[in-house]
């Protein structure tokens, strides 16, 4: 363990568990103590210190938003050079251009014909919501939209299916071209967007006044983005969100452990430990009262513990990925063992927290540690070979670029993480907002999920480098090379029953990637494919309409079923998947008993009530 644990207990317990730091002292101390020898990035990765090179790259990163221009240029060179030596492919691309141009010209000449129907040349994809309003079926706006979509289709054809191009480079070129074209969509400009023109005529131009106000407000908020918090007065951490009653019962220099107060007279003997991702604040699983997973679980008679990660600063550049295992999951399990001795634990991991829980579980299984009763993974990957478009940002050149950028800062800034996720869904998260907020002069009604999304976190430089290299680039965990305590671990050592949730529209952890857990572990796996995306598909309370899911269980010794076959045969159920999960937990839990004490019995606890201090950093 790199850092000594800190918990508020009585003096009699001090030799086993030292005293707690004051909140401010804990917040300002780096996660590594001064006595701990630090391992720099260059030492860890086997590179010499090239200070000038790294300083130049870090400066360049400010201009490119953290994207490596070398990686991008190499991908374009690969595509362009192979296309230059493929004359037949060039002819095909030229023919496509002539065909599309001819179709557009004929469409323009006969656009006023009464038999002409909208979208007769090309239709928007079902996921493309830019042109769904009926105003886009009116000429000339329908012609402009179809011309744009045909242009996008032509560029897609031109950048794909070129013989000899590396698949990764082809994906980068296609993605970057699509992102560039999306900037020039007719929906992004007032003069070519019929919805904006209609709004302008109806309001006498007032929409542009409101749009300017919104732009100025967003600019001021961006300039003040270093201030933590949701940035929304309607959603205040500890009052309207992250407000489930509980107590911080343990703190070290990386986590605060929350124990939530019981809401039933009796509880199941097995507690639930939730391991959230540290690329986000923990309270996505404890939002408002109506959609809080924590409140739902306590109402079902479970004792719930939650890890709240500390937001790192520049002084925490050398915090390793394994520190999150030892000071996070392991420390939390040890503390739960003091409060509820000889009790098995239902463990849940969300997103990156699920990846960490998988690593921890495999290491525990290897070492004969049987404390886990069940494992639940929510939108969590353990094999990163098909991790969706996020892998476009992960190659050797890009990782080295990010490492040099983080070398200067000591962490990955919130803007880089948020920007990468927004690019994956730029039409929904960037351009639709530009049109709505600045051209229409409207604002989406604030929600707790939006407020939580604005409450971003940072990532320590060393930890993020190890995460990208060991998991994304080299896929060490899935291929049996991941080391814990100097020895390799294997997911096949996991025999604990698992409940795994993927979501249909997940752009961060595609459900087919999370589905791979079926052939990685030697355990019974109940897999759920839920409606929604990475966040909205997980935060799916029973009281909220419109949810559905598919579910099917594979026993450890049953034959493997591929994802497409699974999707065809799995039962579809209307409603939230939460009751399905609780029923699964109940079948693996003992009879209800008296609730445990809040904290270690017989000790004094001077730590604050939930949500604690770390969530505000």
- Mean pLDDT score of the chain: 88
Under a CB-based contact definition with an 8 Å cutoff, are residues 572 and 550 in contact? yes
Distance CA 225, CA 415 (A): 9
User: Choosing from 212, 216, 351, 593, which is the catalytic residue?
Assistant: 351
543 lies in a domain?
Answer: yes
Q: What are the beta bridge partners of residue 498? A: 375, 525
Q: What are the beta bridge partners of residue 350? A: 378
Distance CA 93, CA 453 (A): 42
Kindly tell me if the per-residue pLDDT of 93 is higher than 70: yes
The dihedral of CA 115, 116, 120, 125: what is its sign?
negative
Residue range 585-596: mean pLDDT, rounded? 97
Residue 532 pLDDT: 95
461 lies in a domain?
Answer: no
CA distances to 50, 177, 558 from 68, rounded to whole Å, are: 18, 16, 45
First to last CA, the chain: 24
Distance CA 604, CA 19 (A): 11
238 lies in a domain?
Answer: no
Kindly tell me if the per-residue pLDDT of 508 is higher than 50: yes
CA distances to 187, 189, 463, 513 from 194, rounded to whole Å, are: 8, 10, 48, 40
Kindly tell me if the per-residue pLDDT of 534 is higher than 90: yes
Q: Taking the CA of residue 85 as centre, how many other CA atoms within 13 Å lie in the half-sphere pointing to its CB?
A: 8
Q: Which two tokens stand for residue 500?
A: 């795994």
Nearest Cα neighbor of 574 from 539, 601, 612, 546 is 546
Residue 540 pLDDT: 97
Residue 25 pLDDT: 41
397 lies in a domain?
Answer: no
Distance CA 465, CA 404 (A): 10
Kindly tell me if the per-residue pLDDT of 142 is higher than 50: yes
Q: What are the beta bridge partners of residue 335? A: none
Residue 26 pLDDT: 42
Helix (H) or strand (E) holding 198: helix 194-203
Residue 218 pLDDT: 85
Under a CB-based contact definition with an 8 Å cutoff, are residues 5 and 592 in contact? no
Q: Which two tokens stand for residue 517?
A: 């857990």
Distance CA 5, CA 362 (A): 23
Kindly tell me if the per-residue pLDDT of 567 is higher than 90: yes
Residue 126 pLDDT: 87
Residue 13 pLDDT: 39
303 lies in a domain?
Answer: yes
460 lies in a domain?
Answer: no
* pLDDT interval class at 47 (50, 70, 90): very low
* pLDDT interval class at 32 (50, 70, 90): very low
Under a CB-based contact definition with an 8 Å cutoff, are residues 530 and 581 in contact? no
Residue 492 pLDDT: 97
Q: Taking the CA of residue 381 as centre, how many other CA atoms within 13 Å lie in the half-sphere pointing to its CB?
A: 22
Residue 408 pLDDT: 83
Least confident of 177-181, 326-330, 491-495: 177-181
Distance CA 192, CA 383 (A): 44
In a 10 Å sphere around its CB, with 0-12 CB exposed, 13-18 middle and 19+ buried, how is residue 487 labelled?
Answer: exposed
Kindly tell me if the per-residue pLDDT of 348 is higher than 90: yes
* pLDDT interval class at 39 (50, 70, 90): very low
Q: What are the beta bridge partners of residue 593? A: 267
Query: Is the model more confident about 304 or about 27?
Result: 304
Kindly tell me if the per-residue pLDDT of 37 is higher than 70: no
CATH code of 340's domain: 3.40.50.1820
The pLDDT tens digits of the residues spanning 48-85 come to 567 888 888 888 877 777 788 888 999 999 999 999 99
* pLDDT interval class at 189 (50, 70, 90): very high
Residue 45 pLDDT: 44
Kindly tell me if the per-residue pLDDT of 249 is higher than 90: yes
Residue 233 pLDDT: 73
Under a CB-based contact definition with an 8 Å cutoff, are residues 281 and 612 in contact? no
129 lies in a domain?
Answer: no
Residue 422 pLDDT: 67
Per the document, the length of the chain is: 617
Over pLDDT 70: what percentage of the chain?
89
Kindly tell me if the per-residue pLDDT of 361 is higher than 90: yes
Kindly tell me if the per-residue pLDDT of 159 is higher than 50: yes
In a 10 Å sphere around its CB, with 0-12 CB exposed, 13-18 middle and 19+ buried, how is residue 137 labelled?
Answer: middle
Kindly tell me if the per-residue pLDDT of 528 is higher than 70: yes
Kindly tell me if the per-residue pLDDT of 34 is higher than 50: no
Kindly tell me if the per-residue pLDDT of 383 is higher than 90: yes
Q: Which two tokens stand for residue 297?
A: 């679980």
Kindly tell me if the per-residue pLDDT of 3 is higher than 50: no
Q: Taking the CA of residue 535 as centre, how many other CA atoms within 13 Å lie in the half-sphere pointing to its CB?
A: 19
Residue range 133-146: mean pLDDT, rounded? 94
Kindly tell me if the per-residue pLDDT of 14 is higher than 50: no
Least confident of 115-119, 148-152, 265-269: 115-119
Residue 244 pLDDT: 98
Query: Is the model more confident about 423 or about 257?
Result: 257
Under a CB-based contact definition with an 8 Å cutoff, are residues 361 and 286 in contact? no
Q: What is the 3-state secondary structure (H, E, C) of 45-80?
A: HCCCCCHHHHHHHHHHHHHHCCCCHHHHHHHHHHHH
Counting the structural domains of the chain, the total is 1
Residue 165 pLDDT: 96
Least confident of 1-5, 43-47, 545-549: 1-5
Residue 77 pLDDT: 96
Residue 184 pLDDT: 95
Distance CA 353, CA 583 (A): 23
Q: Is 351 a catalytic residue?
A: yes
The pLDDT tens digits of the residues spanning 401-450 come to 888 888 888 998 877 666 666 666 777 778 888 999 999 999 888 899 98
Residue 227 pLDDT: 52
Q: Which two tokens stand for residue 554?
A: 């594979």
Over pLDDT 90: what percentage of the chain?
71
222 lies in a domain?
Answer: no
The domain of 535 spans: 1-30+244-385+489-617
Residue range 236-249: mean pLDDT, rounded? 96
CA distances to 60, 460, 578 from 55, rounded to whole Å, are: 9, 18, 49
């Amino acid at each position: 363990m790199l850092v000594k644990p800190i918990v508020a207990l009585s003096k009699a317990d001090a030799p086993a568990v030292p005293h707690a730091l004051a909140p401010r002292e804990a917040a300002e101390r780096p996660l590594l103590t001064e006595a701990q020898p630090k391992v720099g990035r260059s030492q860890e990765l086997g590179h010499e210190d090239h200070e000038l090179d790294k300083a130049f790259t870090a400066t360049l990163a400010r201009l490119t938003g953290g994207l490596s221009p070398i990686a991008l240029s190499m991908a374009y060179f690969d595509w362009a050079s192979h296309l230059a030596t493929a004359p037949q492919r060039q002819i095909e691309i030229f023919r496509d251009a002539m065909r599309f141009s001819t179709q557009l010209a004929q469409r323009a000449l006969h656009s006023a014909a009464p038999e002409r129907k909208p979208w007769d040349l090309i239709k928007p994809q079902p996921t493309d919501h830019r042109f769904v309003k009926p105003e886009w079926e009116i000429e000339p706006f329908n012609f402009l939209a179809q011309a744009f979509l045909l242009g996008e289709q032509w560029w897609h054809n031109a950048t794909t299916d070129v013989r000899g191009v590396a698949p990764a480079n082809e994906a980068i070129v296609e993605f970057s071209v699509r992102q560039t074209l999306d900037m020039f969509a007719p929906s992004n400009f007032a003069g070519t967007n019929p919805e904006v023109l209609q709004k302008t005529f109806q309001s006498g131009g007032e929409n542009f006044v409101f749009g300017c106000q919104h732009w100025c407000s967003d600019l001021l908020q961006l300039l003040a983005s270093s201030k933590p918090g949701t940035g929304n007065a309607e959603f205040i951490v500890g009052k309207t969100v992250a407000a489930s009653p509980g107590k911080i019962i343990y703190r070290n220099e990386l986590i605060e452990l929350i124990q939530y107060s019981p809401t039933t007279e009796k509880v199941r003997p097995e507690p639930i430990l939730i391991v959230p991702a540290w690329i986000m604040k923990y309270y996505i699983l404890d939002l408002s009262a109506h959609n809080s997973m924590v409140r739902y679980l306590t109402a079902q008679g479970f004792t719930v513990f939650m890890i709240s990660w500390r937001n790192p600063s520049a002084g925490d550049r050398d915090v390793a990925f394994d520190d999150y295992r030892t000071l996070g999951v392991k420390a939390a399990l040890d503390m739960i063992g003091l409060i509820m001795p000889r009790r098995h634990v239902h463990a849940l991991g969300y997103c990156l927290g699920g990846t960490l829980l998988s690593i921890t579980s495999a290491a525990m299984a290897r070492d004969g540690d049987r404390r886990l009763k069940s494992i639940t993974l929510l939108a969590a990957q353990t094999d990163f070979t098909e991790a969706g478009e996020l892998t476009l940002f992960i190659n050797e050149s890009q990782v080295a670029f990010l490492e040099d950028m983080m070398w200067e800062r000591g962490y990955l800034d919130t803007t880089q993480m948020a920007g990468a996720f927004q690019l994956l869904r730029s039409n929904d998260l960037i351009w639709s907002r530009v049109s709505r907020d600045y051209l229409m002069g409207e604002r989406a009604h604030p929600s707790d999920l939006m407020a939580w999304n604005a409450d971003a976190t940072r990532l320590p430089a060393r930890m993020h480098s190890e995460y990208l290299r060991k998991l994304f680039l080299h896929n060490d965990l899935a291929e049996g090379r991941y080391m814990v305590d100097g020895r390799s671990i294997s997911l096949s050592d996991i025999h604990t029953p698992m409940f795994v949730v993927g979501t249909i529209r997940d752009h961060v952890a595609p459900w087919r990637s999370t589905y791979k857990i079926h052939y990685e572990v030697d355990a019974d796996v109940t897999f759920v494919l839920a409606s929604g995306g990475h966040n909205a598909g997980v935060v799916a309370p029973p009281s909220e309409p419109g949810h559905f899911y598919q579910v099917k269980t594979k026993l450890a010794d049953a034959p493997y079923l591929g994802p497409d076959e699974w999707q065809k045969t799995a039962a579809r159920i209307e409603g939230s998947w939460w009751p399905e999960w609780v029923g699964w937990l109940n079948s693996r839990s003992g009879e209800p008993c008296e609730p445990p004490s809040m904290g270690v019995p017989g000790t004094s606890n001077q730590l604050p009530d939930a949500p604690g201090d770390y969530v505000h950093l």
